[in-house]
């Protein structure tokens, strides 16, 4: 496979620099015939990763970044590029990420524009890219930066039972998003540096979020939970937010399958996480539409104003494919991931005149509270801004394609 992909990389690099195409210049992606050992999923991962690097020549520009920043969305995109490096052996994917991190992080491990005092879990996500960078380069500044992030988590404000507040400004609140931001990082840190307390902490956060965000009737999870029940969006009896936001459930599913990479087989929390994964895998197909897509408000695909959304579909494609590959769920679920891939290819992915690919219909942002106040209503979620090539969709798309590619290997 690596020989074929290297040839394909050289061909794609010969393309001229991309210009933003007009809407009428976009065209649906044509079917690609697998060649050699590569398959269609791996080929799409390659094409899209190279498209991202072409339109965003430096990693800080991922997610339409305007400044050098340790942003969680850039971290998602860089995780995808490191997955490409591991799969293809192409050094340029690693260099793309390392140049970003090397510029961001000083020799003493300080991170540019990072502010621990905000206790923002979003900062933690980009720490995931530091593990392979540290292992390959040996630069101690990456280890020091990881230690800095762990120091934040050791001081993170918590609910009465120990759940992390999503940010200091979001007091008493646990968000599904935060589980993805922090738990896989804690698990990898604990496994890498022989600190099992961080494996236990990763599990504790997942268990607490399951306890308070899960809805037994649908098998889905509410976006967030307010322990104080004071937020306007919080159910006065349960503290739960009012809707099932697609991307938050995507973060949750991805977090669980990623945490299991580092959790020992005999860890007492492993069985619980596996049960959460299997129950969610069973629940989600009923909300997938005929084209293979999931919607912005996940449980109401037929409600007027709702729409198929790229990030949740890409995230769930990744989570299903990886869970099948790892043996966490039955092989029958591979068809769910394949259906999502085909739906994205047919409905959300377009090919530009220069041969690059664009992923459309990505929700730019979603949250609760704040200024102006976000009330978690159906109308709020469907009213959020959409854009193309958002890293919160493109990163999972690339990683999902790579996981799907393993089905044929």
Which position has the token pair 């599990």?
Answer: 203
Q: What whole-number distance in Å separates Cα of residue 2 and Cα of residue 85?
A: 10
Which position has the token pair 């769920």?
Answer: 329
102 included as an active-site residue? no
Judge whether 331 and 3 are in contact, CB under 8 Å: no
Rg (CA), the chain: 20
User: Where are the extended beta strands (E) located within 97-222?
Assistant: 173-175, 214-215, 220-221
Q: Closest Cα to residue 271, out of 263, 283, 280?
A: 263
User: Where are the extended beta strands (E) located within 181-269?
Assistant: 214-215, 220-221, 224-226
Structural tokens at position 209: 């979020």
Q: What whole-number distance in Å separates Cα of residue 70 and Cα of residue 74?
A: 7
Q: Closest Cα to residue 221, out of 258, 184, 257, 177?
A: 177
Judge whether 334 and 321 are in contact, CB under 8 Å: yes
**All residues at 6 or more sequence positions from 139 whose CB lies less than 8 Å from its CB, including other chains:** 102, 133
Active-site option among 63, 122, 177, 390: 177
Which of the 8 DSSP states describes residue 227? T
Which position has the token pair 């967030």?
Answer: 224
Which residues on neighbouring strands pair with residue 164, listed in sequence order? 158
- Using DSSP's 3-state secondary structure scheme, residue 41 falls into helix
Q: What whole-number distance in Å separates Cα of residue 336 and Cα of residue 327?
A: 15
Active centre residues (catalytic): 177
């Amino acid at each position: 496979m690596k020989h074929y992909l290297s040839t394909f990389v050289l061909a794609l690099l010969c393309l001229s620099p991309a210009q933003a195409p007009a809407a009428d210049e976009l065209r649906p992606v044509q079917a690609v015939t697998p060649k050699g050992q590569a398959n269609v999923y791996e080929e799409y991962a390659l094409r899209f990763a190279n498209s991202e690097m072409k339109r965003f020549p430096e990693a800080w520009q991922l997610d339409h970044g305007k400044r050098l920043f340790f942003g969680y969305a850039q971290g998602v995109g860089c995780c995808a590029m490191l997955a490409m490096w591991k799969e293809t052996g192409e050094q340029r994917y690693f260099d793309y990420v390392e140049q970003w991190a090397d510029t961001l992080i000083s020799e003493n491990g300080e991170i540019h524009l990072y502010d621990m005092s905000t206790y923002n879990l979003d900062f933690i996500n980009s720490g995931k890219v530091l593990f392979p960078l540290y292992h390959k380069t040996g630069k101690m500044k990456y280890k020091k930066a990881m230690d800095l992030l762990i120091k934040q988590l050791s001081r993170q404000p918590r609910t009465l039972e120990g759940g992390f507040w999503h940010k200091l400004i979001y007091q008493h609140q646990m968000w599904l998003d935060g589980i993805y931001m922090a738990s896989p990082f804690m698990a990898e840190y604990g496994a890498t540096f022989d600190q099992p307390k961080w494996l236990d902490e990763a599990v504790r956060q997942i268990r607490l979020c399951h306890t308070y965000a899960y809805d037994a009737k649908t098998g889905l999870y509410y976006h967030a939970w307010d322990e104080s029940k004071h937020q306007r969006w919080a159910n006065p009896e349960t503290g739960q937010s009012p809707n099932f936001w697609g991307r938050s459930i995507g973060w949750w599913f991805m977090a669980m399958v990623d945490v299991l990479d580092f959790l020992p087989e005999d860890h007492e929390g492993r069985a619980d996480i596996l049960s959460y994964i299997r129950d969610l895998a069973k629940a989600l197909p009923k909300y997938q539409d005929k084209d293979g897509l999931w919607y912005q408000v996940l449980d109401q695909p037929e409600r007027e104003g709702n729409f198929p959304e790229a990030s949740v579909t890409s995230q769930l494609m990744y989570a299903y494919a990886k869970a099948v590959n790892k043996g966490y769920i039955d092989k029958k679920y591979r068809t769910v991931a394949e259906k999502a891939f085909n739906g994205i290819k047919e409905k959300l992915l377009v090919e530009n005149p220069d041969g690059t690919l664009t992923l459309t219909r990505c929700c730019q942002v979603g949250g609760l509270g704040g200024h102006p106040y976000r009330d978690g209503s159906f109308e709020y979620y469907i009213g959020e801004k959409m854009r193309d090539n958002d890293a919160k969709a493109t990163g999972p798309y690339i990683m999902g394609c790579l996981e799907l590619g393993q089905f044929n290997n």
